[in-house]
């Protein structure tokens, strides 16, 4: 018998609110069983700052007016964690997984996502790791990826933000993830530092991370059929 699937759907570049609506719809359908397989949505966002349930006002360094003047949106969301930045060139992965089919443990889930990213960036010469007590993925003392999730009925949504080729400028408006003095980095920067002279392509990193996500959750990675996107965009009664 074949393993359950991780269906991967690439949304391209999409405004944050549009992607949020799609993943919320996906979670509803996963909870009901109308989506029979786990889902990974890959997306890039125009510049946006999102505030999680653990947000502290001191961690937003620019006012909403200043953000707007720089073309940066600002949104509050239901995920865990503090403040997070998205910008083009960053790989955002929204994970809609039914943990009842895996392990009903959100801490375990977070560690699995961290491991998937660590494994997924390794082919690009990036030696990433965890830091005790801090959710996310790091290269030495530099933060490479942020993770924040929400769950209902053991179905997850939200997920990870992995810096790949983004220039990291939007982070200047925040205390990233609420960690004072943190330095953000990217797969492209760390790959170049390692001596690898092959350009990093976001599509290749996305494919590698999808394979790693599937591996840590014992799933077969497949491209999501067109019917999945149709179900996420269908008007609800």
Residue 54 banded pLDDT, cuts 50, 70, 90: confident
Please tell me the distance from the alpha carbon of residue 56 to that of residue 50, in angstroms, as a whole number.
12
pLDDT tens track for 100-137: 999 999 999 999 999 999 999 999 999 999 998 899 99
Task: Please compute the mean of the pLDDT values over residues 50-73 and round it to a whole number.
Answer: 93
Nearest to 90 by CA among 209, 5, 223: 209
In the chain, what are the domains? 5-233 (3.30.930.10)
pLDDT band at residue 81 under the 50/70/90 scheme: confident
CA atoms within 13 A on the CB side of 102: 26
**Does the pTM exceed 0.85?**
yes
| Local confidence band at 1 (pLDDT 50, 70, 90 cut-offs) | low
Catalytic positions, written as ranges: 177
Of 32-41, 89-98, 168-177, 220-229, the range with the lowest mean pLDDT is 168-177
């Amino acid at each position: 018998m074949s393993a359950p699937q991780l269906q991967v759907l690439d949304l391209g570049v999409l405004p944050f609110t549009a992607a949020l609506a799609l993943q919320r719809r996906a979670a509803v359908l996963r909870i009901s069983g109308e989506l029979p397989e786990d889902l990974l949505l890959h997306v890039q966002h125009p510049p946006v700052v999102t505030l999680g349930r653990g947000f502290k006002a001191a961690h937003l360094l620019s006012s909403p007016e200043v953000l707007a003047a720089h073309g940066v949106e600002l949104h509050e969301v239901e995920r865990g964690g503090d403040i997070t930045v998205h910008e083009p060139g960053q790989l955002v992965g929204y994970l809609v997984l039914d943990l009842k089919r895996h392990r009903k443990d959100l801490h375990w889930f977070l560690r699995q996502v961290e491991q998937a990213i660590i494994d997924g960036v390794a082919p690009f010469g990036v030696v990433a790791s965890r830091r005790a007590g801090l959710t996310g993925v790091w290269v030495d003392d530099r933060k490479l990826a942020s993770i924040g999730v929400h769950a209902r009925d053991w179905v997850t949504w939200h997920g990870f933000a992995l810096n790949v080729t983004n220039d990291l400028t939007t982070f200047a408006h925040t205390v990233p993830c609420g960690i004072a003095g943190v330095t953000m980095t990217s797969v492209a920067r760390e790959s170049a530092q390692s001596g690898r002279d092959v350009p990093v392509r976001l599509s290749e990193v996305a494919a590698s991370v999808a394979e790693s996500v599937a591996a840590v959750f014992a799933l077969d990675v497949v491209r999501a059929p067109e019917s999945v996107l149709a179900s996420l965009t269908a008007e609800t009664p």
